[in-house]
Structure 1
C-alpha cells in the first residue's frame, strides 16, 4: 500500500501504532480476565469499571489499527504477536480478589499510559494525525488509571 508519509516517518509511526495495538489488546484481555473472575465486597463496582476499560481498549484498538492501515502499515493483532510482544503483568489464574484486581489494573494502566506517552513523543515529528489518536487514547487510559488509583486509596481507609 502507498503511504502518505515518507518511509522513515511511516516506519517510526507504524512501530508506535503497532506497540499501541498490542498494549490495547493485552489490556482488554487482562481486564476481561479480571472481570470474569473478580470476587469480594466491591465486586459490582469494579466489575463495571473493568467493562469500561475493556470498551476503551477495544474501541481504540480498532482506531489504532485503522490508522496504521491508513498510513500503509499492516496492523498485526494476531494472538501470537500479542503473546510474543506483550509487556504487562498477567493476572493470576483463578478467582481474583477485588483489591488484587484493583492493584493489577492500576499497574497495567500506569504501564500502558507511560508507553503511550513515549509513543506520543516519537510521533511528534513523524505524524501528527497518529499522535492525535495517541493523545486521545492516553487521556482515556489516564482517566481509568485515576479511577483505579482512587479505588486503591479506598482500600487503605
Structure 2
C-alpha cells in the first residue's frame, strides 16, 4: 500500500477499495474492448442502428475506466490499465462471437451486461461500507450501464415482455436463442 491515502480512510479500508476498483477497472477496459469488437463485427438487418448505438456505450465505458483509475490514484495507488492487468483480473471468459448478426450479438451482450452489472453491484456493496465516495461513483456508473442494458434488451424483447435470451447461460446459447 502507498504511504498515504485519502483523509478519513484507513490504510486497510483503502487497500480493500483499491483492490475492488482495480478489478472493476480491468472489467471496464475489457467491456470497452468487447463493445468495440461488437461494433466492428455486427452485420445484417438493423446493422447501422446497432452499430451506432454501440459507440456512445464505448465512449462512456472508457470514461468510467478513467474515473476509476483516477480514484485508485487518489487513494494512493497506481492503477493498472495494461492488457496483462485485464487478463490477471479476469474471472470471466473472453467474448465468444466474431462476425455475426445483430440479434446474435445483442443476445450475447445481454449476458455480458448481466454479468458486468452484477459485479458492479457487488463492488457497490463492498465499497459502500468503507468509502461512500467510491460507492457513489459506482452507483452512478451502474445506473447508466443498466440503461444501456435496457437498450440491448429492447431489441430482444417480445411485445409480451419475454426476452429471446431467457434461460441462456452462455453467450453462444443467448446468441443462438436470439437469432
TM-score (norm. length: structure 2) = 0.81
Task: Answer whether contact 1:89 1:108 (CA < 8 A) is retained.
Answer: no
The structure-2 alpha-carbon separation of the partners of 1:72 and 1:23, relative to structure 1 and needing over 3 Å to count, comes to: same
Q: 1:80 aligns to what SS in structure 2?
A: helix
Partner of 2:50: 46
Partner of 2:155: 151
Larger Cα-atom Rg: 2
1:25 to 13, 29, 32: 29
Report whether the alignment pairs 1:36 with 2:58: no
Give runs of ≥4 in structure 1 deviating > 6 Å.
Answer: none
Structure 2 gaps of 5+ residues are 165-179
TM-score (norm. length: structure 1) = 0.92
Distance 2:23 2:122 in 1: 11
Which has the higher mean CA deviation after the structures are superposed, 146-155 or 120-129? 146-155
Please report the RMSD computed on the Cα atoms of aligned residues, expressed in angstroms: 1.6
More helix by share: 1
Structure 1 gaps of 5+ residues are none
* Structure showing greater relative contact order (alpha-carbon pairs closer than 8 Å, 6 or more residues apart): 1
Distance 1:106 1:93 in 2: 13
